[in-house]
Amino acid sequence: MFHLSNWARVLQKTYGYVPYYFIVEDSDKKIKAGCPFFLIKSWLTGNRLVCLPFTDSCFPLVTSDEDIRALLHAALQVGREKKASYIEVRSCPREGTPRSLHLSIHNYYKTFILQLSQGIESIRGSLSPMVIRYAVKRIEKSPVKIRTTESEKDMNQFYELNLSTRRKHGVPSQPYELFKNIWKEIILKKLGILLFAEYHKSPIAGSLFFVYKGTIHYKFNASNADYLKYRPNHLLLWHTIQQSCYNGLKYLDLGRASPDNQGLIRFKRLWGANEIELPYYYWPTVKGVTSTKQKSLKYRTITFVMRRTPTTISRVAGKLFYKHLG
């Protein structure tokens, strides 16, 4: 999904990054391998070449070590020419090749994949009996109802939920332009869906999913803390799992989590997803926003400040500064 030009346009329109697409051609001038990057120029966090910003995983599309070596070598050359302080590749299908190019590895994150092809009853049986089964039985009788969104106005409501959720967790909020561009480039192109959990027809939680070639990606989630007793996030995810199985999708990508966020990891594990290592590769050394551990003083200082920042300031800060975090 994240190799598509739709996602590239979202990033470019929202943040103004410069795209670089490296390809390998065969003797007939047909593309046989490729890798997308964006050049981020930032006075705040430095210049770097990233594959891809604000994306959990986006790796070179290759069939051989020779291809990946050629692609990454070309990226390294451009990085030097553009005076990038570092290059970041978020995951790689062939672990040995990045090491042979002397890239540094940061094996910090994990991603969680639920196999939908096992069927809904098998998935139900694998849920945590003490939490999810109880929650599923409870929420199926809940006054909360699920609605698929129909207009950009709904996306604006999701942005407001996201703004308050990010503030609660002490992390900067994305600008509204991101969600507006996702609506135009992803949702309207039938590559994603936005669902609301509503209480008396008022949105109390929302989840944004991307869908491509048999996989549904759990990209964004936001909720109203005053209504969490109704388990709206559980209801949204269970509804999505059911619908995805009925529609013949094969995988649900629940997204990455850091080992410092044990609450998020527990939530993902409860759904029976497989944990997969998600190594990131860097040149010349591991550095940058994505490599910052959540237990670090820098990260804890940011969360402390963001939790105490008024929503109006968070809104402006997202528009002005979020692009520096890619």
Region 100-116: mean pLDDT is 90
Give the pLDDT band of residue 308 (cuts 50, 70, 90): confident
* Distance between CA atoms of residues 86 and 285, nearest Å: 7
* Residue with more model confidence, 273 or 300: 273
Determine phi and psi for 35, rounding to 5 degrees: -155, 125
* Distance between CA atoms of residues 305 and 326, nearest Å: 20
Give the pLDDT band of residue 103 (cuts 50, 70, 90): confident
Beta bridge partners of 21: 36
Determine phi and psi for 296, rounding to 5 degrees: -70, 155
Region 141-149: mean pLDDT is 88
In the predicted structure, residue 128 carries a pLDDT above the cut 90: no
Residue 167 is encoded by which pair of tokens?
């503030």
pLDDT tens digits along 28-58: 999 999 999 999 999 999 999 999 999 999 9
Task: Specify the pLDDT at position 211.
Answer: 98
Task: Specify the pLDDT at position 131.
Answer: 66
Beta bridge partners of 196: 147, 206
Q: If residue 115 lies in a helix (H) or strand (E), which one and from where to where?
A: strand 104-115
Task: Specify the pLDDT at position 68.
Answer: 87
* Residue with more model confidence, 197 or 138: 197
pLDDT tens digits along 233-281: 999 999 999 999 999 999 999 999 998 888 889 889 989 999 999 999 9
Q: How much is the pTM?
A: 0.93
Task: Specify the pLDDT at position 292.
Answer: 82
Task: Specify the pLDDT at position 99.
Answer: 67
Region 285-291: mean pLDDT is 87
Task: Specify the pLDDT at position 43.
Answer: 93
Is 167:309 a contact under the CB 8 Å cutoff?
yes
Neighbours of 26 (CB within 10 A): 9
SS3 category, 34: strand
Determine phi and psi for 119, rounding to 5 degrees: 100, 155
Is 177:14 a contact under the CB 8 Å cutoff?
yes
* Residue with more model confidence, 133 or 24: 24
- Of 20-29, 95-104, 286-295, 305-314, least confident by mean pLDDT is 95-104
Task: Specify the pLDDT at position 130.
Answer: 65
Region 132-137: mean pLDDT is 70
Domains of the chain: 5-110+278-292 (3.40.630.30), 112-277 (3.40.630.30)
pLDDT tens digits along 218-238: 999 999 999 998 889 999 999
In the predicted structure, residue 135 carries a pLDDT above the cut 80: no
Task: Specify the pLDDT at position 97.
Answer: 64
* Distance between CA atoms of residues 272 and 284, nearest Å: 37
Percent of the chain with pLDDT over 90: 66
In the predicted structure, residue 20 carries a pLDDT above the cut 90: yes
From the list 281, 313, 254, the residue with the least C-alpha distance to 48 is 281
pLDDT tens digits along 149-193: 889 999 999 999 999 999 888 888 999 999 999 999 999 999 999
Return the beta strands (E) in 229-311 as ranges: 251-257, 274-283
Percent of the chain with pLDDT over 70: 95
